[in-house]
Amino acid sequence: MNAPTRAVTLVGIGDDGCLGLTSRAVGAVSRAAVLVGGERHLAFFPQFAGERIALRGGLTAILDRVAALAEDQNVCILASGDPLFFGVGRRVIARLGAPHVEIIPQPSSMQLAFARAGLDWGDAALLSVHGRSLDGLVTRLARLAKVALLTDDEHSPPRIAAQMIEYGEAAWTAWVCERLGGADERVRQLPLAELALVSDVDPLNVLILVRTDTAWRAPPTIPFLHEDAFARRTPKKGLITKREIRLLTLGAMALRRDSVVWDVGAGSGSIAIEAAMLAPEGRTYAIEVDPEGVALCRANARELGVDNVHVIPGLAPDALADLPAPDAVFIGGSKGSMTAIVDVALARLRPGGRLVVNAITLENAAEVYQALRGRDLVPDVTLVQIARAEPLARYLRYEALNPIQIFAVTAPSRPVPEAR
Ligand SMILES: C[S@@+](CC[C@H](N)C(=O)[O-])C[C@H]1O[C@@H](n2cnc3c(N)ncnc32)[C@H](O)[C@@H]1O
């Protein structure tokens, strides 16, 4: 493309202000009658004589105004780094349409951070916790060896380091890259344990994390954790789901990376924890009434490095009332309220979501089957009989595990009929 012909130009700018701008970007600003941007960015252009609009709060209203002004004037919007990288670009294009916006990017803050650290970034995962929750960050990091993060005041590098250490991800080196491109730029390389104690990080920063263990390999894609990996309750309080059964159960739940999951009657948390590993960008809720189970769910999640399991102490169905709508519900324990829990699950599941129930007793199986048929739902039912080879003297012989019935249905998109 030659000279810009579009009424709105989105100019990426670094912390060095006008100094780092290309002549094309400078031309766009000088042709503009209206300059839009954050206070910090507008301050780089004290000589600008046209109208200034500061970006603060309600972006929708500002973009409506920009759209109106752009009918007959050149408007230039300033944004940091590459405006289409976790920036304002997506909203500007959604409002005005790509054909009406010219984008002139600067190097992203992340690109500058890798340049300062002297690290290749082709194999890095690029994430943002800027204005987002830290939930699940450690679960996601479990599969990564090199990461860069956009942070903010609340989700700061020391807080991230503390959360990583709490969940057992301590063997990383950090580069904290502050005010990149500016006169007061600072880049510090330090071990994670030291970063957790630092108190003077500028909110404008990029955090790079690299594993220190060069022999590290990502964990298996399918968790398949042995029961011995979990601290367990006394057997008379409930049995832990065996790993072979967990595999089939989690498969039936049709989990996606961003699924919201309810594990009702979570026990020691084995289903919830593996679900959270498979859905690191989602949220898993482990609902458990027994205080010992609640403590075990929390301890097991921490021990296994999973920071996206939220343990909800209480009895279902009442304890489900305030949880976000799920994509998958697993019922492993119902304390006599199976029908009521199935009703709540079917009412709250998102269309296409999955309800999966494991029944050991004939009574439980009858209850869930009747609850589903009474609502015109025919479940997939799998009777699973597993036998594991166990040592007997110098031989191996099979030892049968409890038979389990797995009931699974897809939530209908129409309202579920009242029970008959
Ligand atoms: C909304 S994002 C915008 C990212 C931007 N589009 C880019 O490509 O750099 C804002 C975050 O970018 C990072 N950031 C922006 N400018 C920076 C700078 N000069 N130095 C360090 N980090 C910066 C900070 O983490 C900040 O919280």
From ligand 1's centre to the CA of 109, what distance in Å?
5
Q: Residue 17's pLDDT is what?
A: 95
Ligand 1 in contact with 290 (CB < 6 A)? no
The DSSP bridge pattern shows strands 186-191 and 283-288 to be unpaired
**What phi-psi label fits residue 254: left (phi over 0), alpha (psi between -120 and 50 degrees) or beta?**
left
- Could you report the per-residue pLDDT of 252-311, keeping only the tens digit for each? 999 999 999 999 999 999 999 999 999 999 999 999 999 999 999 999 999 999 999 999
Q: Residue 53's pLDDT is what?
A: 97
Atom of ligand 1 nearest to the CA of 82: 8
Q: Residue 420's pLDDT is what?
A: 58
What's the Cα-to-Cα distance from 139 to each of 184, 304, 370, rounded to whole Å?
34, 9, 38
Atom of ligand 1 nearest to the CA of 177: 21
Ligand 1 in contact with 308 (CB < 6 A)? no
Q: Residue 343's pLDDT is what?
A: 95
Q: Does the pLDDT of residue 69 top 70, yes or no?
A: yes
Q: For residue 57, name the pLDDT band (cuts at 50, 70, 90).
A: confident
Average pLDDT over residues 209-216: 96
Q: Which is nearest to 329 in space by CA: 376, 375, 338?
A: 338
From ligand 1's centre to the CA of 204, what distance in Å?
6
Q: Residue 4's pLDDT is what?
A: 45
Ligand 1 in contact with 11 (CB < 6 A)? no
Q: Does the pLDDT of residue 1 top 50, yes or no?
A: no
Residue with tokens 């956009």: 150
- Cβ-Cβ contacts under 8 Å for 414 (sequence gap 6 or more): none
From ligand 1's centre to the CA of 173, what distance in Å?
21
What's the Cα-to-Cα distance from 16 to each of 55, 118, 213, 295, 390, rounded to whole Å?
19, 20, 36, 51, 67
- Could you report the per-residue pLDDT of 108-132, keeping only the tens digit for each? 999 999 999 999 999 999 999 999 9
Q: Which is nearest to 25 in space by CA: 109, 111, 104, 132?
A: 104
- Could you report the per-residue pLDDT of 394-404, keeping only the tens digit for each? 999 999 999 99
Percent of the chain, pLDDT > 90? 93
CA 348 to chain centre: 21
With the most atoms of ligand 1 within 8 angstroms of its CB, the residue from 126, 175, 206 to mutate is: 206
- Whose CA is closest to atom 16 on ligand 1? 109
Q: Does the pLDDT of residue 3 top 70, yes or no?
A: no
- Cβ-Cβ contacts under 8 Å for 116 (sequence gap 6 or more): 175, 177, 180, 185, 187
Average pLDDT over residues 171-186: 97
Whether the bond between 107 and the residue before it is cis, its omega within 30 degrees of 0, is: no
Q: Residue 336's pLDDT is what?
A: 87
Tell me the C-alpha distance between 354 and 287, whole Å: 17
Instruction: Judge whether 355 and 408 are in contact, CB under 8 Å.
Output: yes
Q: Does the pLDDT of residue 223 top 70, yes or no?
A: yes
User: What's the distance, Cα to Cα, between the start and end of the chain in Å?
Assistant: 67
What domains are defined for the chain? 8-106 (3.40.1010.10), 110-211 (3.30.950.10), 227-410 (3.40.50.150)
Ligand 1 in contact with 111 (CB < 6 A)? no
Rg over alpha carbons for the chain, rounded to the nearest Å, is: 27
124, 129, 133, 135 alpha-carbon torsion, rounded to 10°:
20
Average pLDDT over residues 162-191: 97
Ligand 1 in contact with 114 (CB < 6 A)? no
Q: Does the pLDDT of residue 92 top 90, yes or no?
A: yes
Average pLDDT over residues 319-328: 98
Does this model's pTM top 0.95? My answer is no
